[in-house]
Structure formats: structure tokens, C-alpha cells
Amino acid sequence: MKRFSLSKLTLPIYSFLAVVFMLIPIVYTIVFSFNDSLPRNQRTWQGFTFDKWINVCERQDVCGALGNSIFIGVVSTLIATVLGTALAIGLVRYKFKARALVNLALFLPMATPEIVLGAGLAGLFFNVGFAPGMTTVIIAHVMFCLSFVVVTVKARVQTLDPVLEEAGRDLYANPTQVFWKITFPLLLPGIISAALLSFSLSFDDFIITYFNSGDVDTFPKNIYVTASRGVPAQANVIASAVFLTAIIAVFASQINSAMKRKRLAKK
């Protein structure tokens, strides 16, 4: 007979409790998105309703803040992804005197506390005469997300086989054709991953945004301001929708990858 060992159950139990602990706020948010609450009584359960999902933009301030967050996230992600991809390729493929210094400088925003980075950028914008607003938020988010894009794409660039690009040049392709026909498609998975990471960081950011946004309201700022009175059910609806969309995207990606592996295995 096998002896019962409590030590074998320690890791599964710990993992289960950790997952439950992380899911509690998410479950709470999803459940209270269906709360039939009044604006001044949002912390207690008042009954089940789909009304908040149907009339999600009943609170114009919430939807306006969401639109600002999406706009800032998309613009800053596009800029950070383009600049970060170029930097990643340059750091891996080319040797220059300040390469080690550039590598170190790119890691500084990742290692710097957000409150320090946000306050420093706010002081910089004030000294150069930039009024806080949409432009300063986008610049701040680009500077914050750029390091994450470079690190992600750089890892992908380092795995590329130079022989593939050399084959393209041997077939009389010019550098532009080699990049768009060979290098870019191979880098695309890393670029997409970096862009998704950049967008999530930008969309979720509060501290840097708070220091540099001025009168511009974003979704995290709106929740912070209204939290003292109880988070609006519409905010719970939007947060739940974002979470469910991300889960669906992950599952779709996994299913697509599994189907591709099956097709390749049959060939």
C-alpha cells in the first residue's frame, strides 16, 4: 500500500489557494456588473439585472474615460512598437560605441518606480512649457512602454537565422525586399506580442497618467476618483468585458495554434 504523504498535497493546495485569491477580485467585478444598484448605493447587492450591460454608456463620464484610454493606448502603442522594433533590430544587428549604454538606458524605465517616473516626467513637461493633457500622456506612455517593446522584440530578433536573409540577398533581393519579405514576417509574432503588452500597460496605467494628464480623464483615473463613493456598475461592466475579451482572445489563439500543429503533423 502507498503511504499517504501530506507533502505531495502541499503544492496543489497552495496553487489552488493562490488561484482562488487572484480570482476573487475578478469574480467580484463580474458579479457586481449585474448589480441592480442606485448611484449612491453601489457597495451592497441590490438584485440581479442586465440593465447595466444594456445601458453601459448611461454614465457618460465612464464611457468617455474609456474612449480616452483606448485612444491613448492605441497611439502610444503604435509609436512605441515602431520605435522599439527599430531599436531592437539596431541593438542586435549593429555594433556601435554606445550600445552598452543604450541597453542600460532602456532598462531604467522598467526598473524605476512609476511614481518616480511620473513625477520626473511631470517636472520635465512643466520646465519645457508643456501643459498637461493628451499629448503629455501619450509621450509619457511611449517612454514607459518603449523598454518593454524593445526587450520583447529583441528576444525575437536574436532567434532569427541570418541564413534566411542571406538566401534572399543571394536571390538578388534588395535590402528593402529582404526586410519586408523575410525579416518582418519572422519578427511579426514578437512585434504583435510587444504591441499587446504595450497596450495593456498603457490602458492599465494610473500613476504616470495621474501626474501628466491634467484634465484628461482615463478609465483608471475615473475608477480612482469614484471609488470613494463606490465604483459604478458601468465600470464593472467595462472591466468585465475587457477581461472576458482577453480570455476569449487567448483561447482563440491557443485553438488556432493547436489546429496549425495538427495540420503540420499530418503533412
Task: Using the structure block, give the residue that is written with the C-alpha cell 496543489.
Answer: 12
CB 225 within 8 A of CB 53: no
The C-alpha atoms of residue 37 and residue 189 are separated, in whole angstroms, by 44
Strand partners, 221: none
- Structure pTM? 0.81
Q: How far apart are the first and last CA of the chain?
A: 47
Q: What is the pLDDT of residue 228?
A: 67
H helical segments located in 55-174: 60-93, 99-111, 114-128, 134-158, 162-170
Give 41's pLDDT tier (boundaries 50, 70, 90). low
- What is the mean pLDDT of the segment spanning 35-47? 69
Pick the CATH number of 63-219 from 3.30.470.10, 3.20.20.210, 1.20.140.10, 1.10.3720.10: 1.10.3720.10
* pLDDT higher than threshold 90 for residue 77: yes
Average pLDDT of the chain is 84
The C-alpha atoms of residue 33 and residue 242 are separated, in whole angstroms, by 12
* pLDDT higher than threshold 70 for residue 4: no
* pLDDT higher than threshold 70 for residue 93: yes
pLDDT digits (tens, 9 = 90+) for 252-264: 878 877 887 788 7
Give 2's pLDDT tier (boundaries 50, 70, 90). low
- What is the mean pLDDT of the segment spanning 106-120? 86
* 37 contact partners, CB below 8 Å, separation of at least 6: 44, 45, 46, 230, 233
The C-alpha atoms of residue 136 and residue 142 are separated, in whole angstroms, by 10
